[in-house]
């Protein structure tokens, strides 16, 4: 199912998304925006078209496609002939291919070769997305273009830039011709009526009746084009030759264009083409309006034997008769597919990119390349891998398989995948953002994160701000920590709000970013004036700068003796933060978080910086979108999510999706615990009503209804599961997969990481998490931190049976003794790879657990009873421990084991069957062993796994 998006394909082809969109739209494809997905067949067509039209390219014309085009050229002549259909003449003589003729070429060929096969494959695929989408309206394009112009405020790094880029993009795209009139003369590959700008109006109708995905204008006359279809060189037209008559205008600019390609599609090529060509060249009818659709695939189809020739039936018959076509297509593919590993499967050219989701199965991949899954299973098997059709494959396996088949298989990132999921519900966040009209945007409070070195006063500062500013509010101040809060300040005679993320430190900031949540507008970098710039100060500013976040420096602890604020300013210039007083553009404010001085100045500096450098804006009049900042499970209230609204307004009752959780907003609270009915941009609120607890950094969107919300959440959950499955599979070799599954025991190695700096701890953690030994053993980092190993760490290790890893740190006083007495292992490293090696070894060691025998009890046989029914019964007395029924036993006589592998088959006290008998009691035991005597000792034991040290 993984599909390329327009912008991705555009990038790949070196043209603008706009151009590509136009090309696609013109060809009748239902693409909505640059983020819309496009089906493989369309991708292929577009690729071929663009390759054939280097003029479309922005950057590198058709360089990379050189090869394909070359091929195209080769075949051109052939096609050209058929194409000439333009000419009424019965015999398409035109030997001379028109420049654009390439695309058509293939189809023209009487004997469709591989390309045909490929095309077919594509065509067979349904095009759900396209069908539902509607083209971007000219209005939105116009709006977005308009937006780009005025930029009242200073440069806005993040979002604005992005938006601007988009606009630029759009504008670029339009460069050819009228902005709305998508079709650029000459450029549009699929356009049937090239050269005639098509009024934007009709576009929306794009959806042709019928469901021929390729017929651009089925059944609808194209304005201006006269019959639009008629003239279309492409399709069957060319083939049938007859079409000619339809052709009003002279030589079709690009008969070969896409249309032809399309024709190559599955069915058409072989039969359609043949038919049209031969039999009914009469295709004459091609004149039919509407028919010649860009992707005339239908033209070819006109199998009705009738004349339908080239342009023929399209209008009337979209894609019916699918079945037989499909069958034929398969037959065709089978004939033309190359052999790989002795199996016939489609083959790429080595550069063909196939995108699959994380955790995609072989079946998914087969669908993408139009192969028979069974054939792929065989190929994989012969490559030494075994997989079923529905089993998730990991990226490596896909890559291997792809390489074998000539495809560059790319596993989609989680973000792309999510985008794709949303697109299935017609939600395209990027496009919406790009299409947002500046007029609808209103200023929103800046979102601020506090960062800095350990102990420089981040928490104290957040407290100071909270107290200074929130206690005065009507609700009586912040009563709870919800992960974010808003304060108000009188700034330039206006009441202004600032939103603070209440989790200090760049780790949280980075974690959120890693999940795609760029919510911070301004970062306050806290530097203690008595300590100066420290390692984490630098880390924090690097993180902020790399995120394009503006920084305000809070020089803290100026109340401390020896504080040297000037030194901080001087130090930070080295890192590109030059104070205004030194001619730079960064605001430095001296504060004392402890004494709560300078706080107002700091807040003003934040607002000043925000206004000047960020100018955050959002449209409050739309369904809300935002990010989950914190989430927890509350016993009485269920999932409690603190969400920050980024745009739109969130209201109680809204159907919401947060990550893989969904639900209706049952109630909302602000940081003071007060009920909130609605929350606008930059407003943090606690939300009740979600079905599950999402992760911090998960984005949320208001869905159109509960059902959609649930479906999106379900799909996300499924994607997550598939990704996890794929990862897990990676770690289990095929040989031991079944065993591992059978045993069902997964062992976990718990680790506590302590390091000299958070950077090194993070690096160590991420490296360790990549260690994969087997699916049976997992590695879990239960705690990490900066600084010496403390008693707390050891206590935690005791509880969770963890190993402590110290990276460039040592245990604090008396901690070593504690660890020794608790049997906690501490390991110290100064090189990351050494730690990784050791952990890897430990994990491997865990693979083969050592079992040890544990004695459970022993009993002495006092008397032997012979019973016909039960065999020999040992009347015994339990000498130690407990004798349990069903446990393993051995028989010892005079210190010699005479029967090592027995089992307590039955156990009785008096006349009752019992499960166990304790020390000192008499009992009757049967062992299923005849040779027992008075005085023999029955020892019972079990095998217990021994933890490795």
Ligand X SMILES: Nc1nc2c(ncn2[C@@H]2O[C@H](COP(=O)(O)OP(=O)(O)OP(=O)(O)O)[C@@H](O)[C@H]2O)c(=O)[nH]1
Find the shortest distance in angstroms from Cβ 507 to ligand X: 10
Is 531 annotated as ligand-binding?
Answer: no
- The one-character DSSP state at 293 is -
Residue with Cβ nearer ligand X (458 or 513) = 458
198 binds ligand X (CB under 6 A): no
Q: Is 503 annotated as a binding-site member? A: yes
Contact 516, 527 (CB under 8 A): no
- We find the least distance from the C-beta atom of residue 566 to ligand X, in angstroms, to be 17
Assess 772 for contact with ligand X (CB under 6 A).
no
Pairing relationship of beta strands 802-807 and 747-755 according to DSSP bridges: parallel
Residue 251 to residue 783: CA distance in whole angstroms: 73
CA atoms within 13 A on the CB side of 668: 22
Q: How many residues bind ligand X (CB under 6 A)?
A: 16
Is there a binding annotation on residue 519?
no
The alpha carbons of the chain give a radius of gyration, in whole angstroms, of 36
Residue 481 assigned as binding residue:
no
Is the CB of 288 or the CB of 557 nearer to ligand X? Answer: 557
Which span sits near ligand X by CB under 6 A: 173-181, 406-414, 457-465, 794-802? 457-465
Residue nearer to ligand X on the CB measure, 594 or 622: 594
Shortest spacing between CB 645 and ligand X, in angstroms: 27
Give the residue with the Cβ less far from ligand X, 595 or 724. Answer: 595
Least distance in angstroms from the C-beta of 790 to ligand X: 13
Q: Confirm or reject binding of residue 663 to ligand X (CB under 6 A).
A: no
The C-alpha atoms of residue 831 and residue 544 are separated, in whole angstroms, by 28
- Report yes or no: 591 and 597 within 8 Å, Cβ to Cβ: yes
What's the rounded Cα separation, in Å, for the pair 691 and 689?
A: 7
Q: Quick one: 788 or 836, whose CB is closer to ligand X? A: 788
Nearest-5° Cα angle at 318, 312 to 323 = 115
**Is residue 459 a contact point for ligand X (CB under 6 A)?**
yes
Q: Does 467 bind ligand X (CB under 6 A)?
A: no
CB-nearer residue toward ligand X: 334 or 459: 459
826-829 and 802-807 beta bridge pairing: parallel
Using the minimum distance from each CB to ligand X, give the nearer residue, 459 or 573.
Answer: 459
Q: Which residues pair with 620 in a beta bridge?
A: none
Q: Mask 545-564, x = binds ligand X (CB under 6 A)?
A: -----------xx-xx----
Yes or no: say if 13 and 50 are a contact pair by the CB < 8 Å rule.
yes
Residue 452 annotated as binding?
yes
- The continuous run of DSSP H or E covering 263 comes out as helix 261-264
**Binding to ligand X in span 564-593, by CB under 6 A:** 592-593
What whole-number distance in Å separates Cα of residue 33 and Cα of residue 431?
Answer: 6
Q: Which residues pair with 861 in a beta bridge?
A: 876
Q: Does 460 bind ligand X (CB under 6 A)?
A: yes
- Tell me: is residue 205 an annotated ligand-binding position: no
Q: Does 457 bind ligand X (CB under 6 A)?
A: yes
Element spanning 148, H or E: helix 138-148
Stretch 86-125 residues interacting with ligand X (CB under 6 A): none
Binding status of residue 725 toward ligand X by CB under 6 A: no
**Smallest separation, CB 675 to ligand X (Å):** 31
For helices 40-52 and 66-83, the axis angle rounded to 10 degrees is: 90
Among 164, 456, 515, 550, binds ligand X (CB under 6 A): 456
**Cα dihedral 86, 92, 97, 100 in deg (nearest 10):** 30
Which residues does residue 436 pair with via DSSP β-bridges, in sequence order?
none
Three-state DSSP at 774 gives strand
CA nearest neighbour of 399 among 363, 356, 370, 364: 356
- Strands 850-867, 871-884: parallel, antiparallel or unpaired by DSSP? antiparallel
Largest CA distance in the chain: 114
Using the contact rule CB under 6 A, the part of the chain among 453-461, 486-494, 791-799, 871-879 near ligand X is 453-461
Cα–Cα distance, 24 to 410 (Å, whole number): 23
C-beta of 13: minimal distance to ligand X in Å? 49
Which parts of 577-660 are beta strand (E)? 587-590, 617-618, 625-634, 638-647, 650-651, 655-658
Residue placing its CB nearer to ligand X in the complex, 270 or 503: 503
Q: Is 559 annotated as a binding residue?
A: yes
- The residue among 136 and 461 lying less far from ligand X, judged by its C-beta, is 461
* CB 884 within 8 Å of CB 855: no
State yes or no: 745 annotated in a binding site: no
Q: Which stretch binds ligand X (CB under 6 A): 22-30, 390-398, 447-455, 578-586?
A: 447-455
If binding is defined by CB under 6 A, does position 600 make contact with ligand X?
A: no
Cβ burial of 107 (10 Å; 0-12, 13-18, 19+) is buried
Least distance CB 503 / ligand X (angstroms): 10
Contact between 594 and ligand X per CB under 6 A: yes
Residues 734-753 that bind ligand X (CB under 6 A): none
Whether residue 299 is annotated as binding a ligand: the answer is: no
**CA nearest 308: which of 286, 334, 278, 330?**
286
Nearer to ligand X, 167 or 453 (CB): 453
> Residue from 458, 506, 550, 890 that binds ligand X (CB under 6 A)?
458
In the bound complex, what is the minimum distance in angstroms from residue 147's beta carbon to ligand X?
40
Nearest distance from residue 760's CB to ligand X, in Å? 16
- Shortest distance in whole angstroms from residue 796 CB to ligand X: 18
Taking the complex as a whole, how short is the minimal distance between the CB of residue 534 and ligand X, in angstroms? 11
Smaller CB separation from ligand X, 97 or 452: 452
The C-alpha atoms of residue 917 and residue 166 are separated, in whole angstroms, by: 79
User: Taking CB under 6 A as the criterion, which residues in 483-522 touch ligand X?
Assistant: 504
The least distance separating ligand X from the CB of residue 483, rounded to whole angstroms, comes to 15
Q: Quote the CA–CA distance of 559 and 595 in Å, as a whole number.
A: 8
What residues have CB less than 8 Å from 911, skipping those under 6 apart? none
Q: Which of 426, 430, 455, 840 binds ligand X (CB under 6 A)?
A: 455
Residue 840 contacts ligand X per CB under 6 A: no
453 labelled binding-site residue: yes
- Give the contacts of 488 (CB within 8 A, at least 6 positions apart): 469, 473, 495, 496, 497, 498
Nearer CB in complex with ligand X: 41/504: 504
Cβ at position 567, least distance to ligand X in Å: 16
**Residue with Cβ nearer ligand X (427 or 629):** 629
Q: 459 a known binding residue?
A: yes
33 Cβ contact partners less than 8 Å away, ≥ 6 residues apart: 6, 21, 136, 428, 430, 431, 434, 435
Contact 266, 121 (CB under 8 A): yes
The phi and psi torsions of 158 (rounded to 5 degrees) equal: -70, -90
297 vs 290: CA distance, rounded Å? 13
Q: Which residues are annotated as a binding site?
A: 452-459, 502-506, 556-559
Q: Which residues are annotated as a binding site for GTP?
A: 452-459, 502-506, 556-559
List of residues contacting ligand X (CB under 6 A): 452, 454-460, 504, 556-557, 559-560, 592-594
């Amino acid at each position: 199912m993984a599909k390329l998006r327009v912008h991705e394909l555009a990038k790949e082809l070196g043209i603008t998304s706009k151009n590509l969109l136009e090309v696609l739209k013109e060809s009748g494809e239902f693409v909505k925006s640059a983020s819309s997905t496009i089906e493989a067949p369309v991708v292929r067509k577009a690729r071929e078209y663009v390759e054939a039209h280097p003029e479309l390219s922005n950057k590198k014309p058709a360089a990379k496609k050189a090869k394909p085009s070359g091929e195209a050229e080769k075949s051109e002549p052939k096609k050209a002939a058929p194409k000439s259909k333009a000419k009424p003449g019965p015999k398409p003589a035109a030997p001379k291919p028109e420049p654009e003729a390439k695309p058509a070429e293939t189809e023209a060929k009487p004997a469709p070769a591989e390309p045909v096969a490929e095309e077919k494959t594509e065509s067979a695929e349904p095009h759900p997305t396209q069908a539902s989408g509607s083209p971007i309206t000219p209005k939105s394009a116009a709006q977005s273009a308009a937006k780009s112009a005025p930029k009242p405020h200073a440069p806005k790094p993040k979002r604005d830039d992005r938006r601007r880029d988009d606009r630029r993009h759009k504008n670029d795209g339009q460069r050819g011709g009228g902005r709305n009139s998508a079709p650029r003369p000459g450029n549009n590959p699929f356009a049937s009526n090239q050269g005639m700008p098509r009024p934007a109006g009709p576009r929306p109708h794009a959806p042709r009746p019928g469901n021929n995905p390729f017929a651009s204008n089925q059944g609808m006359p194209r304005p201006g084009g006269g019959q639009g279809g008629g003239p279309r060189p492409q399709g069957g037209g060319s083939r049938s030759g007859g079409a000619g008559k339809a052709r009003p205008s002279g030589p079709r600019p690009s008969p070969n264009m896409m249309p032809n390609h399309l024709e190559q599609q599955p069915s058409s090529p072989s039969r359609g083409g043949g038919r049209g060509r031969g039999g009914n060249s009469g295709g004459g009818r091609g004149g039919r309006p509407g028919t010649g659709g860009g992707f005339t695939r239908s033209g070819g189809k006109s199998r009705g034997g009738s004349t339908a020739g080239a342009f023929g039936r399209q209008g009337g018959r979209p894609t019916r008769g699918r079945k037989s076509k499909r069958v034929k297509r398969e037959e065709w593919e089978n004939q033309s597919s190359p052999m790989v590993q002795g199996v016939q499967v489609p083959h790429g050219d080595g550069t063909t990119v196939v995108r699959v989701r994380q955790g995609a199965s072989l079946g998914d991949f087969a669908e993408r390349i139009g192969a028979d899954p069974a054939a792929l299973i065989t190929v994989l098997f012969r490559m030494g891998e075994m997989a079923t059709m529905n089993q998730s494959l990991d990226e490596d396996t896909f890559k291997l398989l792809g390489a074998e088949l000539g495809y560059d298989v790319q596993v989609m990132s989680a973000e792309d995948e999510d985008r794709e999921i949303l697109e299935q519900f017609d939600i395209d966040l990027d496009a919406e953002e790009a299409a947002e009209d500046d007029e609808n945007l209103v200023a929103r409070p800046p979102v601020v994160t506090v960062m800095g070195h350990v102990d420089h006063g981040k928490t104290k500062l957040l407290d100071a701000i909270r107290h200074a500013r929130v206690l005065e509010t009507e609700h009586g101040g912040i009563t709870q920590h919800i992960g974010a809060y808003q304060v108000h300040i009188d700034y330039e005679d206006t009441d202004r709000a600032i939103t603070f993320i209440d989790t200090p430190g760049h780790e949280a900031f980075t974690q959120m970013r890693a999940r795609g949540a760029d919510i911070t507008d301004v970062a306050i970098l806290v530097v203690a004036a008595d300590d100066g710039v420290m390692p984490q100060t630098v880390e924090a500013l690097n993180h902020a700068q790399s995120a394009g976040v503006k920084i305000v420096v809070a020089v803290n602890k100026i109340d401390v003796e020896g504080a040297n604020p000037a030194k901080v300013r001087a130090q930070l210039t080295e890192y590109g933060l030059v104070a205004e007083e030194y001619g730079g553009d960064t605001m430095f404010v001296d504060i004392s978080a402890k004494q709560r001085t300078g706080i107002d100045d700091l807040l003003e500096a934040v607002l000043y910086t925000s206004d000047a450098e960020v100018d955050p804006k959002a449209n409050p009049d739309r369904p809300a979108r935002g990010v989950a900042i914190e989430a927890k499970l509350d016993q009485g209230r269920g999932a409690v999510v603190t969400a920050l609204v980024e745009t739109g307004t969130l209201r109680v009752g809204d159907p919401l999706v947060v990550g893989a959780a969904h639900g209706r907003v049952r109630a909302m609270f602000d940081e003071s615990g007060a009920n909130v009915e609605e929350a606008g941009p930059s407003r943090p609120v606690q939300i009740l009503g979600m079905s599950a607890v999402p992760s911090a950094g998960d984005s949320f969107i208001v869905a159109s209804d509960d059902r959609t919300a649930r479906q999106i959440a379900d799909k996300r959950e499924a994607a997550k599961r598939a990704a996890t499955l794929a990862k897990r599979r990676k770690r289990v070799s095929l040989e031991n997969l079944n065993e591992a599954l059978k045993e069902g025991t997964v062992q976990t190695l718990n680790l506590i990481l302590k390091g000299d700096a958070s950077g090194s701890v993070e690096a160590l953690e991420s490296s360790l998490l990549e260690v994969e030994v087997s699916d049976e053993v997992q590695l879990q980092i239960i705690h990490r931190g900066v600084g010496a190993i403390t008693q707390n760490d050891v206590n935690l290790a005791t509880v969770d049976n963890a190993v402590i890893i110290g990276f460039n740190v040592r245990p604090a006083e008396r901690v070593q003794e504690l660890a020794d007495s608790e049997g906690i292992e501490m390991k110290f490293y100064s090189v990351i790879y050494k730690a990784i090696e050791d952990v890897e070894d430990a994990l491997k060691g865990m693979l083969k657990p050592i079992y040890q025998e544990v004695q459970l009890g022993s009993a002495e046989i006092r008397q032997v009873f012979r019973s016909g029914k039960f065999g020999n019964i040992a009347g015994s007395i339990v000498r130690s421990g407990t004798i349990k029924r069903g446990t393993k036993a051995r028989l010892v006589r005079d210190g010699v084991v005479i029967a090592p592998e027995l089992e307590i088959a039955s156990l009785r006290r008096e006349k009752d069957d019992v499960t166990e008998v304790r020390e000192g009691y008499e009992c009757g035991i049967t062992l299923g062993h005849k040779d027992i005597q008075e005085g023999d000792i029955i020892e019972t034991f079990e095998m217990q796994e021994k933890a490795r040290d």
